[in-house]
Amino acid sequence: MQTISNLIGGVAVQSTSQRTAPVFNPATGEQSAVLPLSTAAELDDAVAAARAALPDWANTPPLRRARHMFRFKHLLDANTDRIADAISAEHGKTHGDAVGEAQRGIEVVEFCCGIPQLLKGEFSRLVGPSVDAHSIRHPLGVVAGITPFNFPAMVPMWMYPVAIACGNTFVLKPSEKDPSASGVIFELFREAGFPDGVLNIVHGDKEVVDAILTHPYVKAVSFVGSTPIAEYVYRTGTHAGKRVQALGGAKNHMVVMPDADMDKAADALMGAGYGSAGERCMAVSVAVPVGEETADKLVESLAPRVRALKVGPASDPEAEMGPLVTKEHMQKVLGYIDSGVEAGAELVVDGRGFKAQGYEDGYFVGGTLFDRVTETMRIYKEEIFGPVLSVVRSPSYDHAVKLINEHEYGNGTAIFTRDGDAARAFADHIEVGMVGVNVPIPVPVAYHSFGGWKRSLFGDHSIYGPEGVHFYTRLKTITSRWPEGIKSGAVFNFPTMN
């Protein structure tokens, strides 16, 4: 059985840790690999390798760094299916969904090919008599990323390409549930010609996380995961003096107005609610139809679609939804469905007890649809992260907006309507970081930035795009005056334009 190695200083390094974690194929329930849970000392080795590579890399001209990114992107494009296979084997998502994940990550690498444009400073001539001012952006140094299981290729590529293109070196701690995709991409990274130590991968659990958060030479930490852990990462990292961006959980609502096309709204909810088995922080898990008639039409349109969902392993080309990532997570999602039934929600489609033929030991949950969910129920308040869609009936547009604005999460939301006034008002007044108008999953393209509000994001910077460049660099402003403009004699007043 394969034992997964760390990747430090450009080479595979077998961990000496006595603690290990199993890696499973979620479609079969069979163990596929052993993952040693690295020690804090091994994290030290990775940081040392990143520090050794930093001076030369930080002083490499930005255009030359960008050329490495061009080569990297070309290799990623040529190996997309291979990356997708690694994702599906350990996460379980369908091949098409895994290809989409890889492509969205590659788009960030493509954005990084143009980063020299964003690293330019500003210049002002004559800010005072014979005085000029200009600004430059410096890399931070060694930075780190801690990434989740649901996007084992894309989310790391939201982090390290931006950081590295800005002149930093990087230590990545992938999820221990599906670590292999990062290793496949690392091979392509090396093939693209990046110097050894610019990117390092250390596998592990909380011991490595805590070592990253407190390490004196790690200057910044990026994190994506659940809100409780995001808050822990933010508080611990900032207490240690680090710059931290920590993206947390979500409970994304989609408002369906009475004038919406019900078939199109239902199709959108199917993809947004059940794609990747609901294991997306941008998954729509709450549908909010406005008015009873709208709700009746929506549920009537949704129910047969949910019942007809094709659930199966990634090897099935007709599968629309795969298994959940682990047995433990499957049991957690089933517990939420039980909770909804006990709370009195109407279970329209029950995904419990689903078994895929030939894959009876896989971690499958069928598509589940609840109607008449209320704000007091756990299935409404908490992030389920599974193929469970809740319909919360709203008597009015204003009530729907209030419902969303009062929720603790503010990651993504959407409205489906033909009314431009309603759409514009919704986009303007909703207290959520990413908004879709007739777009169910409004994940920004790579040259914008991704980030929620409220308890969906801890820190001042969203991830990737221009915000990512600002996060991974720091500003320096230089004010200069040359001797011919300097009058003799000391000046003791605070300097001004006069």
Task: Provide the annotated active-site residues.
Answer: 281
Distance CA 119, CA 136 (A): 8
CA angle centred on 150, ends 149 and 156, rounded to 5°: 70
Task: Please give the single-letter amino acid code of residue 14.
Answer: Q
Distance CA 364, CA 68 (A): 41
Instruction: Say what the alpha-carbon torsion angle 97, 202, 213, 19 is, to the nearest 10 degrees.
Output: 100
- Residues, the chain, total? 498
Q: Which residues contact 157 (CB under 8 A, 6 or more apart)?
A: 105, 106, 108, 109, 185
Q: Which residues contact 184 (CB under 8 A, 6 or more apart)?
A: 79, 82, 83, 86
Distance CA 227, CA 248 (A): 4
